Amino acid sequence: MNEVRTERVGSALLITIDRPEARNAVNAAVATQLSAALDELEATPELRVGVLTGAGGSFSAGMDLKAALKGESPVVGDRGLGGLTEAELSKPLIAAVEGFALGGGFELALGCDLVVAAEDARFGLPEVKRGLIAAAGGVVRLPRRIPHHLAMEILLTGEPIDGRRAGTLGIANRVVPNGEAAAVALQLAEQIAQNAPLALAAVKAVVRSQDPWAAQRTESTRLMRTADVREGMTAFAERRAPQWTGR
């Protein structure tokens, strides 16, 4: 049974967690299939950006606790929850969030590079209410994304915020009417896909590096040797759109 669907939309891969009856909670099958979808994104040159969303008006309620009690793991190797939260993807990934993004669902969104949120989406890390912590990246990433005291309120109270609040805090790049998150995320994906794929990957490599200055020098030097840089400069001089080859 396919619990994660993929669809190619222009230069983007739309990845949909399809367990609406469980609010798209992540069990072993979802984790394995989501990891495979991310592999498809990485391995396909024609695909430049991924968009992750959920079916049935909900993004993801996080780890499937019932499945976990049966011994299922929502973690894939060293790639973290859903094969995403600790994965080092070279291509940009956008979360399109409708409805619930709770616990691991919020952490999946935090594992993406950009977030488009519906106005009434619900973001929360309620793990402390169950004696746990948000250990799939929540306690690591959230305090790096928003002011410390605001992150700590979300982490320590376990109370959710809506999409509007997420936009105000800077968790979401775009806040859109309910039902439009995926469409807007795909529009944003196409805007990103117009840029040089090697440059996009280089941006991600520098941002996640433990030594960003050294990584910046390395990536910039490498890019200057590529055909895409020459194409970008030539296209600018000739006043035309560049034709990227990823070389």
Catalytic residues: 107, 127
Tokens encoding 100 = 């619930």
C-alpha to C-alpha distance for 144 and 146, rounded to whole angstroms: 6
What's the distance, Cα to Cα, between the start and end of the chain in Å? 38
- Single-letter residue type at 135: A
Rounded to the nearest 5 percent, the helix, strand and coil shares of the chain are: 45, 20, 40
- Nearest alpha-carbon partner for 180 in 70, 57, 31: 57
How many other C-beta atoms are found inside a 10 Å radius of the C-beta of residue 38?
Answer: 25
C-alpha to C-alpha distance for 190 and 113, rounded to whole angstroms: 15
